[in-house]
Amino acid sequence: CSKVWSEFKSDPFWVCCKVASFGAYHDSGAQLGDAYRSLCKPWPFDIEQDLKCPVFVFQGAGDYDMGSSAPHVPNFLKQ
């Protein structure tokens, strides 16, 4: 962890990205709202009619937000 932190803090690009990302957290209920709208009830969209572009859904090995690393989301969606 300290090696990664050293690399991160020495790169102005990543430090600026991180600082800029904090501006998005002004609504404390936003992430919970996103989870509720996308995981906890049916989508209000007709995907075949509304989406006209390719869509790719993937999970990275380090994707741990909201317990979204496999197998948590696939198991949840199977319920």
pLDDT in tens, 51-61: 888 887 766 55
pLDDT in tens, 16-28: 888 887 776 677 7
Q: For 35, phi and psi rounded to 5 degrees? A: -65, -45
Omega prior to 71 cis, within 30 of 0: yes
Q: Which residues contact 14 (CB under 8 A, 6 or more apart)?
A: 8
pTM equals: 0.31
Task: Return the sign of the alpha-carbon dihedral for residues 39, 44, 49, 51.
Answer: negative
- Length of the chain as a residue count: 79
pLDDT at residue number 61: 58
